[in-house]
Structure formats: structure tokens, C-alpha cells
Structure 1
Amino acid sequence: MRPRTVRDMVLGQGLPKICIPIMGRDYSQLLEAAHFALDQDADMYEWRADYLTEAADQEKIQEGLQKLRGLIKDSPLIFTLRSENEGGMQTLSDPAYGNVNASVIESGLADIIDLELNRDQEMIKELITAAHKKGVHVLLSSHNFEETPPKEDIITILRRMQELDCDITKYAVMANSESDLLILFDATLAMKEKYADRPFVTVAMGEKGMLSRVEGGMFGSALTYARGKESSAPGQLTSSQVRYIMHLLHQ
């Protein structure tokens, strides 16, 4: 696996990096959440722009990015415009989704852009190419909020993402039982040992999957998301909890 360097952070090397999502319906809420996140123990931040009421407005997005960049300084920033069917707040069409992400890429204010695998494939390929030309890393993601698919399906999806030439792959599933968590860990380990040629992220959401957020790194996952002022997904812990448990297990 070849790690990716994002500013001064190396993803895919050492312990998983901790990312705190920042959310707000308007700039006031956004900045309040950002100040809260900065007081936590995180390696990087994610702007969940889909929470913004005017998320389809490119000018509003640019202004939000500028405000966040001014606060977080040189910390790595992921930009995410999550669709409703992927667990987000927006129902944007493919063209609208593509236009917002293209404008973010062009601005250079985000270090990583999260793109959804289950969008128009030609559009995704064009966005990946544009991002790489601007020096922006691409995290390709997919989410299953219903279940944990079989091990082979998880591996197939992550390998499909790699074929699209992204920099980081991410697949999140819902753990409805302890067995589901073991399936995810088994698939994660197989990716680490046999298939992954770049950093990847796996998450088991929900209470049953909480262990994946602190112990996924042992099996190969490169990044974990911790709770900010609000949780962006079920089962998130605080960054201090994640950091403490990871160091306790790996000391």
C-alpha cells in the first residue's frame, strides 16, 4: 500500500488518523461547530456541507470554505456533500452535485474531496481527473445503512473504487450483530493483506459496530471519524475516547 501525504499528515501509515465532521445549517452554526472541533483531539476535519441549507449555492459553499480554512489553518480538510440515500441531507441531481464539487476542487480550499461511488460514473471520473490536476486528493465512498454485505461484496466494492483511480477508498456498513462486525474486520484484513494499493477506510456503523471505530486500524483501516458537536453517523465516539483506546491497545 502506498500512503498518501496530505499537508503534513501521512494517511495509511501508523495509527488511523482521527477526523471530526463539522456541520451547520448556516454559517453561525458552522463556525460554532468548527470552534468546538478545534478544541478536540483530531488530526483532520470534514465539512459536511450537505447540512448547509443552501448547499447547492456555489458562492455560499465557497464562502463557507474560506471561513473554515481561516479557522483550521493548515489542518487537512475533507469536503463532503453527502446525498440523502448515502446518509446525508441533500437530494441534489447528478449535475448539481457535480457542479458544486467541481467548484470546490477548482478553489483548492479543500485537501480531500469525498465523492460518492453511486453517482454517474463519467461525472465521477471527470471530477477525479480535475481534482488530481489541482492537487486535491479524492476519497471515493459508499454507504450501506441497512446491513453488512458478505465479505466478498465488501472487497469487490473497495477494489472497484481503486479502479477509478481515487486516492482513498471508503465503505461504511451497518452492523446489526456481532457477526456483522467480524465480517467487516475479515474483509478489511483481506484488503490490507491482498488487495489494497492505497489507503482505505472501513466502518461498521451503529452500536454493534463501535469497535470498528477504534480497532479498525489493526485490520488496515486508515481513518476513523469521531463525534464533533453532533454525530454525523451512528456509533461515533468522541475523539479523546478514540485516541485513548487506540493508544491503549497499541502501546
Structure 2
Amino acid sequence: MTARIGDVVLGPGRPRICVPLTGATTDALVAEAAAVPPDVADLVELRIDRFADVDDVVSVREAVAAVRAALDDRLPLLFTLRTAAEGGGAQPSPEALRALLVDAAGLDGVAAVDVEAALPADLVGAVVAAAHTVGKPVVTSFHDLVGTPARQAIVERLVAQQALGADVVKLACTPTGPEDVLTLLAATRDYAARPDARPAITMAMGPLGVVSRLAGEAFGSAVTFGAVGAASAPGQVDAARLRDALELIHAAR
């Protein structure tokens, strides 16, 4: 099964490269957006949790419009608010988060919305419904900041995200040894082999997990994150060098 974010198709083949924007001001976000090379990135993530005025819906709308204007037209925009509980920079109330994500789903400049699977089910459902009503996909996500779930537990988490209405499922974990990276890769392969699988994004964070950011085509992860400038997560690598590596692996396959 495939999913489409803007004109970018997620599915088998070379993983798509997503570049996060993490500036705290509109000007900083615009500068980051303008620096993203369209021949390196496939899509861009607006990490609005790092935005200083994240509590002001009007300011967020203006930031989205400014970022969209600064980006190459070929690069669709994924709107994400990563909560502090999952490694992000903000912790709004459930009511505020719901309002922000539902509003973002309706913005012309937003091609898809990320919502954390661990949030209250009614909040997740409201975001999924708002996005689907206007024909936009939803990425549901889960981040384990302390360890790596067991192989079957990873598969079960991804399957549970499908039940929430996800078009794309995502899981990131923290390996404490090489065996955890192998667990993540094996679970990704298990999930991708299911006939009902959605496009998946998986990664092991930190230096140990860098290989998982490169091996998506072999194991079934459809997107990987690369940095243009400062990294937004542990183990994230330079987007241009990442693309070279992915192209090399793709050609070999």
C-alpha cells in the first residue's frame, strides 16, 4: 500500500528524505526553508513545537504561510507538534493541541499532519477526521526515548496506529546496544510484509541507530529524516550525504 503527501508517493523503493525545520521564529523558519535544496529533500517537516508563538493560532498560520512561500513548490509540508513527552519542545494542553492540529489540517500550505498515537483517542480521531475531510493524509507517531520495545510489540504498535486511521505509521526508539537496532529492523520488515500494512517510518535514534536511517529500502521504512543545518533528533545525518547513501543502496538493489 502507498500513501501520497502532496505529489510525493510513499511506499516501496528508495526512502523519501524529509528535512525538519526547527526555528523558533518565523524569520528563522523562513531562512531554514529557503536553504532546503529540492534536489536533496523530498518533503519538509515543520516542527512547530520549537516555535516561540506556538500558543498563538494566528502566528502559527502566518508562519506556515511564510514557510510555504519560501519552500520550493515541489516540497510538500508535514505539520508536526512533537510533545515534550516524546522529545519535543512543547507541552500544550490536550484542548490546545487538538485545536492547533485540527486548524493546521485545513491550511492550504499544509500537505499532511503528524499526530502522536499516545494522545487521547478523541484528540487523535478529531485530527484524523479533520485531515481526511479535506483529503490530506495523517502520520501517526510514537517515540520511545528510553529503550526499544520487543519485536512483536513494535509490530503491534504500528498495527494499532492503523486502527486509529493513520495513512502513514511511525515509530522511533532508543537503542541501548546493536541488538536493539536489529530488533527495530526486523520488526519493520515484519510489519511491511503484512498485506494490510501502511507505509511505515521507523528509526533507531542516536549514533547506534544511524544504519536504520539508511536501510529503509531493504527493511520497509518509507521515509528517513536528514538535516540541512542543525539536526532535530539524535543520530540525524546531513541530508545531502544521506541522499547519496540512499541512491547508492538503491542502485545496488
**TM (normalized to structure 1)?**
0.96
Amino acid of the structure 2 residue aligned with 1:117: A
Q: Which residue of 1 aligns with 2:211?
A: 211
Q: Which residue of 2 aligns with 1:163?
A: 163
Deviation at 1:13, TM superposition (A): 3.2
Instruction: Note if contact 1:159-1:195 (Cα within 8 Å) is conserved in structure 2.
Output: no
Deviation at 1:185, TM superposition (A): 0.7
Instruction: Note if contact 1:36-1:228 (Cα within 8 Å) is conserved in structure 2.
Output: yes
Question: Unpaired runs of 5+ in structure 2?
Answer: none
Deviation at 1:241, TM superposition (A): 1.4
SS at match of 1:194: coil
Deviations, residues 129-173 of structure 1 (Å, cap 9, x unaligned):
111011111000010010111101111110000011111000000
Amino acid of the structure 2 residue aligned with 1:60: S
- Identity value in percent: 31
Where does structure 1 differ by over 6 angstroms across 4 or more consecutive aligned residues? Answer: none
- CA distance in structure 2 between the partners assigned to 1:12 and 1:245 by the alignment: 18
Q: Which residue of 2 aligns with 1:22?
A: 21
Q: Which residue of 2 aligns with 1:202?
A: 202
Instruction: Note if contact 2:12-2:220 (Cα within 8 Å) is conserved in structure 1.
Output: no
- CA distance in structure 2 between the partners assigned to 1:176 and 1:216 by the alignment: 20
Q: Which residue of 2 aligns with 1:244?
A: 244
Q: Which residue of 2 aligns with 1:224?
A: 224
Q: Which residue of 1 aligns with 2:69?
A: 70
| CA spacing shift, 1:195–1:205, aligned 2, 3 Å | farther
Q: Does 1:101 align with 2:98?
A: no
Amino acid of the structure 2 residue aligned with 1:141: S
Amino acid of the structure 2 residue aligned with 1:229: G
Deviation at 1:183, TM superposition (A): 0.3
Deviations, residues 14-44 of structure 1 (Å, cap 9, x unaligned):
2110000011111121112112223771111
Mapping for residues 12-91 of structure 1, pairs under 5 Å: 12-38=11-37, 41-72=40-71, 73-91=73-91
Instruction: Note if contact 2:21-2:46 (Cα within 8 Å) is conserved in structure 1.
Output: yes
Q: Which residue of 1 aligns with 2:147?
A: 147
SS at match of 2:194: helix
Deviations, residues 56-108 of structure 1 (Å, cap 9, x unaligned):
11101100110111122242110001101111000111101001111111223
- CA distance in structure 1 between the partners assigned to 2:146 and 2:102 by the alignment: 30
Instruction: Note if contact 1:40-1:239 (Cα within 8 Å) is conserved in structure 2.
Output: no
Q: Which residue of 2 aligns with 1:10?
A: 9
Deviation at 1:178, TM superposition (A): 0.6
Instruction: Note if contact 2:206-2:234 (Cα within 8 Å) is conserved in structure 1.
Output: yes
Deviation at 1:196, TM superposition (A): 4.7
- CA distance in structure 1 between the partners assigned to 2:159 and 2:195 by the alignment: 7
Deviates more, 1:66-75 or 1:17-26: 66-75
- CA distance in structure 1 between the partners assigned to 2:60 and 2:132 by the alignment: 20
Instruction: Note if contact 1:78-1:112 (Cα within 8 Å) is conserved in structure 2.
Output: yes
- CA distance in structure 2 between the partners assigned to 1:239 and 1:174 by the alignment: 21
Instruction: Note if contact 1:114-1:141 (Cα within 8 Å) is conserved in structure 2.
Output: yes
Instruction: Note if contact 2:13-2:250 (Cα within 8 Å) is conserved in structure 1.
Output: no
- CA distance in structure 2 between the partners assigned to 1:151 and 1:112 by the alignment: 28
- CA distance in structure 2 between the partners assigned to 1:171 and 1:213 by the alignment: 12
Q: Which residue of 1 aligns with 2:134?
A: 134
- CA distance in structure 2 between the partners assigned to 1:55 and 1:87 by the alignment: 16
Q: CA RMSD in A?
A: 1.3
Q: Which residue of 1 aligns with 2:121?
A: 121
Deviates more, 1:122-131 or 1:193-202: 193-202
